[in-house]
Amino acid sequence: MTIACDKCPLRKQPLFVPFTEDEVQFMMQFKSGELSVDAGTTVLMEGSNSPQIYTIFSGMGTRYTTLENGRRQVINFLFPGDFIGLQASLMGEMKHSVEASTPMVLCAFRRSDLWNLFRAQPNRAYDLTWIAAVEEHFLGETIATLGQRDAAQRIAWAFLRVEKRLRAVGLGSSGANTATVPLPFRQQDLADALGLSLVHTNKTLARLRSLKVATWSDGMLSVMDRAGLAAIAMVEPEKEEKRPIL
């Protein structure tokens, strides 16, 4: 079933900057279709120059790069509303791969039409600059985390970011004291992303569970004490900043 841009439930989430009517009409022409993929599918391959770029409508994925020895390094996780494939548009080829961690539905756009976006919708084209700047900021924050936070602080920091983002797109539920969101990744993926061993990750998760601040099991993350988790992560709890969506 085709997802009409003017009726898109994801775009209407309060996390995202609203469209004008003219922008909605343009996006309906810019969009070339949808792609549904199963979990485990490689959506974009490192070294390729896919003819399409995508917005994730539903599902979650992993962005990773392959090292010379064949080992996989997870860069970060992908959620509904994220834009992927821009790197190939600007650099000629992907410098990382994207794999679906769950079944995903992607809104597809022709890479060759990207320049029409810059000409016809400069405000939305500027959004691509915002997206690139946020990814650069996230990379810097990740490097600081890997260099200066211990295992518990790293995982607490990651859990806070993920839980906040998923709640902002309407996933999960909140009770009187606990917020629960889907987190369908492997412990190994989290360990790779945070520069930890699997054993250390497992022990640290047990510690956070014993402190009654967060638990992660059966693909669900529950945060019972957001302030306590933030104290461990050495950050201040804050709302998710509004972001553009294409």
| Cα dihedral value 182, 103, 14, 130, nearest 10 | 110
User: CA 37 to CA 152: how far, in whole Å?
Assistant: 34
* Nearest partner of 121 among 51, 25, 32, judged by Cα: 25
Cβ atoms of residues 101 and 111 within 8 Å = no
Instruction: For 86-102, give the DSSP string.
Output: HHHHHHSS-SSEEEESS
Residue corresponding to tokens 């059966």? 218
pLDDT value for 92: 55
* Nearest partner of 47 among 101, 102, 98, 113, judged by Cα: 98
> Can you tell me whether residue 236 is helix, strand or coil?
coil
Ordered domains of the chain (ranges, CATH): 5-142 (2.60.120.10), 149-233 (2.60.120.10)
Task: Calculate mean pLDDT across residues 174-201.
Answer: 86
Q: In sequence order, which residues have a C-beta less than 8 Å from that of residue 165 and are 6 or more positions away?
A: 79, 240
Q: Which two tokens stand for residue 85?
A: 């494939």
Cβ atoms of residues 182 and 172 within 8 Å = yes
pLDDT single digits (tens) 16-38: 878 888 888 888 888 888 889 99
Instruction: For 136-181, give the DSSP string.
Output: HHHHHHHHHHHHH--HHHHHHHHHHHHHHHHHHTT-SEE-SS-EEE
Q: Per mean pLDDT, which range of 41-50, 74-83, 147-156 is the poorest?
A: 41-50
Residue 11: Cβ-neighbour burial (10 angstroms; 0-12, 13-18, 19+): buried
Q: Which two tokens stand for residue 192?
A: 């790779």
User: CA 75 to CA 66: how far, in whole Å?
Assistant: 10
Entry pTM: 0.83
Q: Check whether 204 has a pLDDT greater than 60.
A: yes
pLDDT single digits (tens) 109-168: 887 777 777 777 777 777 777 776 666 555 656 666 666 678 888 889 889 888 888 888
Confidence band (pLDDT; 50, 70, 90) for 101? very high
User: CA 235 to CA 153: how far, in whole Å?
Assistant: 10
| Cα dihedral value 25, 170, 163, 74, nearest 10 | -50
pLDDT value for 213: 92
pLDDT value for 3: 76
